[in-house]
Every structure is written in C-alpha cells, then in structure tokens.
Amino acid sequence: MKSKTKSIIKNQFRLVIPSRSQNEAFARVAVSAFASQLDPTIEEINDIKAAVSEAVTNCVVHAYPGDTVGQIEIIARIMSDYRADNLPDNVFYIRIRDKGCGIADIEQAKTPLFTTCAEGERAGLGFAVMESFMDKLKVSSKIGGGTTIIMSKRLVTKQSV
C-alpha cells in the first residue's frame, strides 16, 4: 500500500525579474546557490541549473517574444517529505511563472525537437532537459494568460535540514 506523504516547507525564496536575457545566468545561479543549503552533489546542482536555465530562457524567448519585456516570477522551496516509517526526504521545488503569450498545445510543446522558433536556432529540447534532469515536471498554461512550470527533485542529501 502506498503511504501518505506529508510535505513541510523548510525554507523558500521568491524572485521577480524582468525577462532580459542577462537574467538567465542570474536566475540559474541564484536558484542553485539556494539549493546548496541541501548539500547536493555537483551533478544535482548542475541538473537544477540546466532545468532553471531552460524554463527562464523559454520566458525570455517565447512568453515575451521580440522586444517585449515582462515579469518572470521564480519561487524555490526546500521541502521535507515525511512518509510513514521513513526518515524525511529532502525535495527541492521550483515554480517559474510568466504572464506571457501562453502555450496552445502543451503535449506538443513538450515533444522533443518541437519548436515554434527554428529560425532562432532553437533545438526544441528545453522541456526534454527539464523532464530528464528533474524528477517531476508540471506545465500549465493559458493562451494570453501565461505559463507556469513546476519542477521538483528529490536530493540524495547526506543529512536532513
């Protein structure tokens, strides 16, 4: 039988930045610096960096195309997941939200190599990177209303925080 999980937020931060390409590096470094509280492996930190970079770049390139600049909101959380009879697991949670153009067909957008922007030398692999480097990925979107990406990753941390 699957036991119930109780999640507790141990720490969190919220960051709101304009969708300028200079902020792609800032966002991934800020989130990974926060995640380092969990004493992650280099591999885990690099997975998180790449996933954040993909999600934020999508806001810069697709959500607010051309010269449009809009807001990107990033929330990162350090969570403890308690399951019966187990020590808690450390889970790193990230939510990245824009109020841009939205995605018409999410399943199609997530298909590897699908891109609406081939002329900009996009490979159509952003969602594939997020999906394979994080444990969970949830995308919700509304045309004209924006897109929210929620990702999480269970970290093989040496101690609980």
Partner 1 sequence: MVEIKNTGEHVTADIKGDIDHHNAANIRSEIDAVLENSTPRVLILDFAGVKFMDSSGIGLILGRKRVLDGFGGKLFIKNAVGHAEKIIKMAGLSGLILK
Ligand X SMILES: Nc1ncnc2c1ncn2[C@@H]1O[C@H](COP(=O)(O)OP(=O)(O)OP(=O)(O)O)[C@@H](O)[C@H]1O
Q: What is the DSSP string of 100-147?
A: SS--S-HHHHHSTT--S-GGGT--S-HHHHHHHHSSEEEEEEETTTEE
Which of 35, 63, 76, 91 is the binder for ligand X (CB under 6 A)? Answer: 63
Our answer to whether residue 58 is catalytic in this structure is yes
Residue 98 binds ligand X, judged by CB under 6 A: yes
Q: Rounded CA gap, 9 and 31, in Å?
A: 16
Q: Looking at beta carbons only, is 22 or 159 nearer to partner 1?
A: 22
- List the beta bridge partners of residue 154: 91
Q: How far is the CB of 9 from partner 1 (least distance, A)?
A: 28
Q: Which residues pair with 149 in a beta bridge?
A: 96, 139
- Single-letter residue type at 60: V
Q: Which of 114, 131, 140, 154 binds ligand X (CB under 6 A)?
A: 114
Residues 1 to 60: which contact ligand X by CB under 6 A? Answer: 54, 58-59
Provide the H-helix boundaries in 59-125: 106-110
Give the nearest distance from C-beta 150 to ligand X in angstroms. 13
Binding region for partner 1 (CB under 8 A): 21-22, 24-25, 28, 46-47, 49-50, 53-54, 57, 60-61, 120-123, 125-126, 128-129, 132
